[in-house]
Amino acid sequence: MCSDIVIEVANLFKSYETYISPRDRLKQFILPPIQKLLGLRIRSYCEYFPALHDISFTVKQGETFGIIGLNGSGKSTLLQILCGTLSPTSGVANVKGKVAALLELGSGFNPEFSGRDNVFMSGRLYGLTNEEINARFEQIAAFADIGEFIEKPVKTYSSGMYVRLAFSVIAHVDADILVIDEALSVGDAYFVQKCMRFLRNFMERGTLLFVSHDISAVTSLCSRAMWLEKGNLRILGEPKEIVRLYLEGLVSQSQDISAAKKDPVDKVCDIEEADYIDMRDRFINQTNLRNDIQIMPFGDAPDTYGAGGARIVDAYIQDALTKSRLNFTIGGEYVRLVIKADAITDLDGVILGFDLKNRHGQTIFGDNTYLTYRIDPQHIASRQQVSAVFEFRMPVMPVGDYAITVAIATGSQDSHVQHHWVHDAIILRSQASRVCFGEVGIPMKNIQIIVN
């Protein structure tokens, strides 16, 4: 294996034996060795299901490698082989370095043991000593943030609590390679944002194998990707191209394209003149396509940092007209984001800002006050309160969870001191949307089909 290659898979096959009845399983165990010993024709009493067929690829140190495919394509089987919990039927799967894995729920923990006991058991399996686990236990418990449940049996945990503890363990074992298999889809919005921040930091120093049905996560996180289909490696390459071909394949399987071509549109759609928001609003508002967004208010967010010259004390979203706080809004509406902070010391050149991230930690948009006040920088005296107001049209967002991070700093756009940065100050939950692809949708003033 080359020095910069940490995973090498060559001509990998994996087949599972399937039996019609328990009696056939017993026959397969006993009779073929006897038939071979007697020189008779060896008979098989089972059928073989090929989970993986001739898979070959390599992953270099520091790469983030994505694996996509439908259920039953062999993704989890491949990961289990790479993690050493499953043996291949034939072929080579070499892994260099310490591997930490978050696979399907239910694996890795003993449900009868407490969370604390499972942390120590898992830590020992990852090669840590009891002294090292003791030294890191408080960090692990704080990252998981499951409170007193850390002392209770894992069988009493919800799926979200289970993932919290499992991810917290693998985040603190000094792994060289992390393997994540769709498990983060059950985490709550705050924890998923925390995990994505950890993963993006880990990507700067380690190797990540990421399996997900969420294609936007693959394109935003991965440097290379692979498409598995029915146990075969369909294609390997740049994530955006892999995802494009994967989606084309799904569409061609689910639609009769030839039939669609036989039924052309032969008239212009009768569309009324629309208002400036979206010509389809009257229809959309009567369906489940309206972009309903729940707003979870500012709380005591534990994930903060800064020099301490000021402190964010509140952040909320208002109706742009009535100035009332909102706990619910609709994509496309005008809103105001208000950020309030207390000055602890005298501050010169104050900048307040925000960014909105999707569930993968990818920034959708953001802004700050610097450009508006670059000529007349704001001075805030100690014990004064300062507020920033950002008025904008809420974008139309795909279904999912989003987080608004807020901050106060001093200085300039390029050189500044962060005094208080609050991750996930406000959580937005898009419960319904007309957006099928992309990160956001925009209002359409007019849409037409023109047939010549």
Confidence of residue 264 (pLDDT cuts 50, 70, 90): very low
Confidence of residue 233 (pLDDT cuts 50, 70, 90): very high
Residues carrying CATH 3.40.50.300, the chain: 5-249
Could you read off the pLDDT of 289-335 as tens digits, one per residue?
788 898 988 876 668 889 999 999 999 999 988 999 998 898 888 89
Burial of 193 (0-12, 13-18, 19+ CB in 10 A): buried
Phi, psi of 22 (to 5 degrees): -55, -30
Q: How far apart are CA 35 and CA 33, in angstroms?
A: 5
Q: What is the pLDDT, as a whole number, of residue 442?
A: 80
Contact present, 74 and 231 (Cβ < 8 Å): yes
- Topology of domain 292-430, per CATH? Coagulation Factor XIII; Chain A, domain 1 (2.70.50)
Q: What is the pLDDT, as a whole number, of residue 266?
A: 38
Contact present, 206 and 178 (Cβ < 8 Å): yes
Phi, psi of 50 (to 5 degrees): -80, 100
Under DSSP, the state recorded for 447 is -
Decide the pairing of beta strands 99-102 and 177-181: parallel
Name, in order, each residue with C-beta under 8 angstroms of 364's C-beta and a sequence gap of 6 or more: 355, 356, 357, 358, 395, 397, 402, 439, 440
Q: How far apart are CA 191 and CA 73, in angstroms?
A: 29
Q: How far apart are CA 240 and CA 216, in angstroms?
A: 9
Q: What is the pLDDT, as a whole number, of residue 139?
A: 93
Could you read off the pLDDT of 384-424 as tens digits, one per residue?
999 999 999 898 998 889 999 999 999 988 889 999 999 99
Could you read off the pLDDT of 417-450 as tens digits, one per residue?
999 999 999 999 988 888 877 788 887 777 888 9
Q: Check whether 261 has a pLDDT greater than 80.
A: no
Residues carrying CATH 2.70.50.60, the chain: 292-430
Q: Check whether 84 has a pLDDT greater than 70.
A: yes
Contact present, 448 and 269 (Cβ < 8 Å): yes
Q: How far apart are CA 166 and CA 148, in angstroms?
A: 16
Once rounded to an integer, what is the mean pLDDT over residues 144-153? 91
- Topology of domain 5-249, per CATH? Rossmann fold (3.40.50)
Confidence of residue 56 (pLDDT cuts 50, 70, 90): very high
